[in-house]
C-alpha cells in the first residue's frame, strides 16, 4: 500500500470542498497506534501548512480531504472544482471528461438523468443522485491511491477505494468523489476526513478550552446580522487531537436524507485548529459543503 499521504461566510471556511473498501483493521476508539506505527510523526505534522501548499495543487487526496455520508449507502472522499486558483490533476481530468462525456442531468428538481453510454445512476437513496461514468472512473483511478485512512468521530479505519463518482449539489454545483467500502460507523463513528497515512490521533481528551473558543466564534457568527443567509446554527464539535493540533466538525449528519425542505445544516464542515500559546488559535485547514447554494444567491 502507498503512503502519500460584508458577507460573512461560515467562520471556519478556508477551502470549499465536499466531499466507501474492506475494513482492514479495527477502529481505535480511545487512542490510535503510537508514533512508531504512524506514517507521519508529530514533528513532520507541525508543518501542515507547508505541506498543504505543496500537495493540494497536484493531488488533493494526498493531504486532508473531507469525507461525507452522501447517502445512507455512500461514504465518499469528496471534491469540488475551485472557483479560482490552480486546479489539481484530478480537477483537470474531471473537467475534461465532464465536458467530453456530457456528464449532466436535468429536468424537474434536477432528477431526470441524461445518460451517456458510459454513465449510470448508482445511488438514489439520499438527496443527491450519485452518478458513475466508467471513463471518468478509469482515468481518475490512474492517479488516486487504492486505499485511504478514514478518520471518524470515534476512531480510524483503512478502507479500500470502490468507485469514482460525481453528483450535483445545491445550485447545480459539480462534485466528484471517491467512494469507500467497509467503513464501520458503529465502531468508528461518523466519517469525517481522509489522509493517506496513519496519524497518531488521540480521542476523548479534555477539549474544553478549544471547544469554548470555537463555541464563542460560532456564537459571534450567528449574531452577525450582516451574514443572515450564510450561516446555520450547528455548533462545532472537537473530537480528537495530536498535541496542540485539534480536529473538529460541524455537522448534524441529517442533510443527506431524502427531503423536501432546506436542511438545518447548511454548511457541514471539517476543521483542523492549532493552539499557539497566548495567541488565538488558528485554523490550519477547513472544508465545507454548500447545502444552501451560495452561488445562486
Residue 26: pLDDT over 50: no
Q: Which of 188, 201, 206, 168 is nearest to 293 (CA)?
A: 168
**Is residue 297 domain-resident?**
no
Residue 195 shares a structural domain with residue 273: no
Residue 21 shares a structural domain with residue 66: yes
Picking from 202, 236, 268, the residue at the C-terminal end of a domain is 202
Residues 6+ apart with CB under 8 A from 124: 130
- Between 1 and 209, the more confident residue is 209
Residue 106 shares a structural domain with residue 239: no
Picking from 144, 179, 202, the residue at the C-terminal end of a domain is 202
Per-residue model confidence as pLDDT tens digits over 42-86: 344 445 555 555 555 578 888 899 999 999 999 999 998 877 778
Residue 220 shares a structural domain with residue 112: no
Residue 134 shares a structural domain with residue 73: yes
Confidence of residue 104 (pLDDT cuts 50, 70, 90): low
Mean pLDDT across the stretch 197-209? Answer: 92
Structurally, the chain folds into a number of domains equal to: 2
35-49, 120-134, 161-175, 218-232: range with lowest mean pLDDT: 35-49
State how far the Cα of 272 lies from the Cα of 110, in Å rounded to an integer: 34
**Is residue 211 domain-resident?**
yes
Residue 87 shares a structural domain with residue 217: no
Confidence of residue 20 (pLDDT cuts 50, 70, 90): very low
Q: Which domain holds residue 130?
A: 15-202
**Is residue 55 domain-resident?**
yes
Sequence-ordered alpha helix ranges (H) in 145-272: 185-188, 208-223
Residue 162 shares a structural domain with residue 267: no
Confidence of residue 16 (pLDDT cuts 50, 70, 90): very low
Residue 151 shares a structural domain with residue 224: no
Residue 152 shares a structural domain with residue 226: no
DSSP string of 103-152, one letter each residue: -EE-SGGG-SEE--TTEEEEE-SSSSPEEEEHHHHHHHTTTS-SEEEEEE
Residue 165: pLDDT over 60: yes
State how far the Cα of 5 lies from the Cα of 180, in Å rounded to an integer: 17
Give the percent of the chain with pLDDT over 90. Answer: 45
Residue 172 shares a structural domain with residue 214: no
Contact 253, 69 (CB under 8 A): yes
The reported pLDDT for the residue numbered 105 is: 52
Picking from 148, 173, 202, the residue at the C-terminal end of a domain is 202
Residue 15: pLDDT over 50: no
Residues 6+ apart with CB under 8 A from 96: none
The cell for 258 is: 431524502
Residue 130 shares a structural domain with residue 214: no
Residue 93: pLDDT over 90: yes
Residue 175 shares a structural domain with residue 53: yes
**Is residue 233 domain-resident?**
yes
Residue 285: pLDDT over 70: yes
Amino acid at each position: 500500500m502507498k503512503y502519500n499521504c460584508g458577507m460573512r461566510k461560515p467562520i471556519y471556511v478556508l477551502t470549499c470542498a465536499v466531499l466507501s473498501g474492506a475494513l482492514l483493521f479495527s477502529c481505535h476508539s480511545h487512542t490510535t497506534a503510537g508514533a512508531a506505527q504512524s506514517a507521519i510523526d508529530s514533528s513532520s505534522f507541525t508543518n501542515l501548512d507547508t505541506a498543504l501548499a505543496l500537495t493540494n495543487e497536484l493531488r488533493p487526496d494526498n493531504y486532508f480531504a473531507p469525507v461525507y455520508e452522501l447517502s445512507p449507502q455512500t461514504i465518499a472522499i469528496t471534491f469540488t472544482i475551485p472557483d479560482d486558483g490552480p486546479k489539481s490533476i484530478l480537477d483537470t481530468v474531471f473537467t475534461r471528461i465532464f465536458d467530453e462525456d456530457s456528464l449532466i442531468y436535468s429536468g424537474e428538481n434536477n432528477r431526470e438523468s441524461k445518460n451517456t453510454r458510459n454513465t449510470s445512476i448508482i445511488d438514489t437513496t439520499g438527496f443527491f443522485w450519485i452518478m458513475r461514468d466508467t471513463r471518468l472512473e478509469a482515468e481518475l483511478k490512474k492517479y488516486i491511491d487504492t486505499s485511504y485512512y478514514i478518520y471518524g468521530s470515534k476512531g480510524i479505519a483503512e478502507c479500500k477505494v470502490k468507485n469514482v463518482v460525481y453528483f450535483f449539489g445545491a445550485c447545480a454545483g459539480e462534485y466528484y468523489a471517491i467512494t469507500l467500502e467497509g467503513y464501520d460507523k458503529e465502531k468508528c463513528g461518523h466519517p469525517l476526513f481522509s489522509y493517506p497515512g496513519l496519524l497518531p490521533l488521540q480521542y476523548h481528551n479534555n477539549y474544553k478550552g478549544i471547544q469554548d473558543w470555537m463555541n464563542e466564534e460560532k456564537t459571534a457568527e450567528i449574531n452577525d446580522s450582516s451574514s443572515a443567509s450564510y450561516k446555520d446554527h450547528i455548533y462545532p464539535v472537537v473530537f480528537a487531537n495530536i498535541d496542540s493540533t485539534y480536529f473538529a466538525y460541524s455537522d448534524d449528519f441529517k442533510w443527506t436524507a431524502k427531503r423536501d425542505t432546506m436542511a438545518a445544516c447548511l454548511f457541514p464542515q471539517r476543521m483542523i485548529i492549532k493552539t499557539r500559546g497566548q495567541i488565538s488559535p488558528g485554523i490550519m485547514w477547513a472544508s465545507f459543503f454548500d447545502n444552501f447554494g451560495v452561488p445562486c444567491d
